[in-house]
Structure 1
Amino acid sequence: MIFTIAALTACGGKAATDKSSASASKKVDFPKKAVTLIVPYAAGGGTDSTARALAKAAEKHLGQAVTVVNKTGGGGSVGMTEGANSKPDGYTVTMATVELTTLPHLGLSPITYENFKPVALVNYDPAAITVRADSQWKTMKEFLDYAKAHPGELKLGNSGTGAIWHLGAVTLEKGAGVKFNHIPFEGAGPAITALLGGHVDAVPVSAAEVKAQVDTGKLRALAINDSKPSAALPGVKTLKEETGLTVEVPGTWRGIAVPKDTPDEIVSILTDAFTKGASDQEFKDYMGKNGLGIEIKDAKSFGQHLKNNHDQFGKLIPELGLGKK
């Protein structure tokens, strides 16, 4: 399938009908071959599975194959750097994640969102404060009240110092006026295992990551740290609904981006294909089955989202003493 974008201009009056009239036509013959989608994390994870499902969904709208390639290392920095430095012709796109807006402030990435042009946001997953099902805290209010009365006592397991769920927990901590004891692990999985084993009191990881244990009755989600409930955990109220607090707690997200010098006409074609792919029922069914949220933003809205996240973490990370030395 060939996409053509044409811009036509013509002089007014009689000259407009003349063969020598001023008219121009700009065409973009794209895509003519397969598109490579760089995933900056290992196969089998949430970013990889989302990317593969999205690639399959977008192919029918692009008319060409979308091939997923995993480029791991540096907490996502290696793959995103390679994507930013690839040829700006639209044939290499990158699955950008929230770490694009955190790693630069941590001194762990040479690039920022400004090295890319946004194409589309397709996923967003909020944090869910989760405890064991047999814990003493039945509500988020009880949990925060206990934290206020016992500063620094509650142990919150996270996915690593400076990782998104650590930063999200600190944002909640500051907004609620409490103090947690943050315990880092090598990913959300080990943090959840520690919670199940009674080694930490709670985890502030994504709703999708605790869904299975909540569904089987091993864990209890106290609140969704977002402005709206999560489809992954139906019936679990938001932080504001539970406590009245309005705290902008960051969550994780995934989207498509291309090198900053990619022509706008090509970006437009990619945006159309990936947003349509993310809207396909098959993709929605896959994401729903796996507890992953869908949030679709076009290039312009995704660009603003990137800036907002970059600015937010630019203030938060230095406050944690985790910024560039």
Structure 2
Amino acid sequence: MKDWLLVQLFKTSKWKTAVSLLATVIVVLGLISFFSGKWSGISLYYNTPSSFPTKPITLVVPYAVGGGTDITARALVQSTQKYINQPITVVNRTGGGGSIGLMEGANAKPDGYTITYLVAELTTLPHMGLLPITYEKYKPIIQTNNDPSAITVRADAPWKTAQQFLDYARTHPSQIKMGNAGTGSIWHLAAAMLEQATHVTFTHIPYEGAGPAVSALMSGFVDAVPVSPAEVKEEVDQGKLRILMINGSARSEAFPDVPTLQEATGYTVNFSGTWRGLAVPQDTPDEIVHLLAEAFTKGMKEQEFREDMSAHGLGLLVKDKDGFRQQMQQSHDLYARLIPELGLSRK
């Protein structure tokens, strides 16, 4: 009997020890999972990379509907949707020449659910005192395209060539009203750099994006716009507008018969055009950025997307996150020098 009791006590003690050890293991594993942000579905960044995304994504476009940025964003969302497995909603946040949307995107939660379609104005507005942040507030995902400036007028305008347009501007200072995508926008800068290079003076009229500026041209409120070929292509194809020159180093693939400024007049201007790309707030986890980059890269390879871009006259220029960051830094440094030279700084 004594021996039987000792055996039972040993078994009971062993069982209690096992239970105690198992409980300790569970507690420790639970604490590890909790602090790694993966316990019961909780994450320090709101979602674990393996489950991302679990809800709809917002793509902030800092300009109005109808401009090149909006057109590209919607085409890219359409082609990428199937690789995300969650709805992607384009939201146009206009105002301040792009600064409203850029600020909203930079200040969003760093969880990957708010993406911003960055534009070149992110590297111009800070130097003009119109934006309190720089590109360093963002973590790049991918660059999507690059477009030159196209000086465009109505089809019934008296100027048939770039030379006629500039000659008139020179003999009639400030009489040509040049619409742009907002004070400090890349198209405002394009027109200002054209003034500097050709020794003419325009009256600059700002709008909340290229789309409204083109509408103003069509309605006769302004005489010309310096926006991209894509943003006037439909009206040019319809015979309502005419592109006089490409304000850049090379002709546009969409309008190969339109000469560059240098070809048409002998003047040159150091303007590389606008660029666009996707980014998230700086503190977004790299794993989520990688997943987004993979999805949007696949979307950009879709034939539908490439055909849509070509149909709208938008130029493709794909760079990965490192190449895109380098592009932003180069633009930031360039405009830090040029904007004061042009007298556009309000700091």
Give the shorter-chain TM-score range: 0.7 to 0.9
Q: Deviation of residue 269 (structure 1)? A: 3.1
The whole-number CA distance in structure 2 between the counterparts of 1:96 and 1:131 is 28
The whole-number CA distance in structure 1 between the counterparts of 2:108 and 2:102 is 10
Q: Deviation of residue 307 (structure 1)? A: 1.3
The whole-number CA distance in structure 1 between the counterparts of 2:171 and 2:283 is 53
Taking a change above 3 Å as real, the CA distance of residues 216 and 58 of structure 1, as seen in their structure-2 partners, is closer
* 2:275 is aligned with 1:256: no
Residue 59 of structure 2 aligns with an amino acid whose one-letter code is I
Q: Deviation of residue 37 (structure 1)? A: 3.1
Q: How does 1:65-144 map to 2 (within 5 A)?
A: 65-70=86-91, 72-75=93-96, 76-144=98-166
Do the aligned residues in 2 keep the contact of 1:228 with 1:238 (CA within 8 Å)? yes
SS state at 2:257 partner: coil
The whole-number CA distance in structure 1 between the counterparts of 2:235 and 2:115 is 34
Do the aligned residues in 2 keep the contact of 1:40 with 1:77 (CA within 8 Å)? no
Name 2:239's counterpart in structure 1: 217
Counterpart selection for 2:193 from 147, 161, 171: 171
Taking a change above 3 Å as real, the CA distance of residues 173 and 43 of structure 1, as seen in their structure-2 partners, is closer
Name 1:31's counterpart in structure 2: 52
Unaligned residue ranges in structure 1 (runs of 5+): 1-26
Q: How does 1:1-325 map to 2 (within 5 A)?
A: 29=50, 31-34=52-55, 36-41=57-62, 44-46=65-67, 47-62=69-84, 64-70=85-91, 72-75=93-96, 76-148=98-170, 151-176=173-198, 178-187=199-208, 188-189=210-211, 191-192=213-214, 195-196=217-218, 200-325=222-347
Taking a change above 3 Å as real, the CA distance of residues 214 and 74 of structure 1, as seen in their structure-2 partners, is closer
The whole-number CA distance in structure 2 between the counterparts of 1:37 and 1:299 is 20
- Superposed CA deviations along residues 141-163 of structure 1, whole A, max 9, x for unmatched, are 34334444555454433334333
Q: Deviation of residue 171 (structure 1)? A: 1.0
Q: Deviation of residue 114 (structure 1)? A: 0.3
Name 1:17's counterpart in structure 2: none
Taking a change above 3 Å as real, the CA distance of residues 236 and 86 of structure 1, as seen in their structure-2 partners, is same
Higher helix proportion, which one?
2
The whole-number CA distance in structure 1 between the counterparts of 2:54 and 2:277 is 22
Taking a change above 3 Å as real, the CA distance of residues 87 and 131 of structure 1, as seen in their structure-2 partners, is closer
Taking a change above 3 Å as real, the CA distance of residues 258 and 295 of structure 1, as seen in their structure-2 partners, is same
Residue 283 of structure 2 aligns with an amino acid whose one-letter code is D
Residue 318 of structure 1 aligns with an amino acid whose one-letter code is P
The whole-number CA distance in structure 1 between the counterparts of 2:144 and 2:134 is 19
Do the aligned residues in 2 keep the contact of 1:42 with 1:70 (CA within 8 Å)? no
Do the aligned residues in 2 keep the contact of 1:35 with 1:93 (CA within 8 Å)? no
Taking a change above 3 Å as real, the CA distance of residues 42 and 304 of structure 1, as seen in their structure-2 partners, is closer
The whole-number CA distance in structure 1 between the counterparts of 2:49 and 2:220 is 58
The whole-number CA distance in structure 2 between the counterparts of 1:300 and 1:172 is 31
Do the aligned residues in 1 keep the contact of 2:170 with 2:201 (CA within 8 Å)? no
Taking a change above 3 Å as real, the CA distance of residues 45 and 154 of structure 1, as seen in their structure-2 partners, is closer
SS state at 1:111 partner: coil
TM-score, structure 2 normalization: 0.73
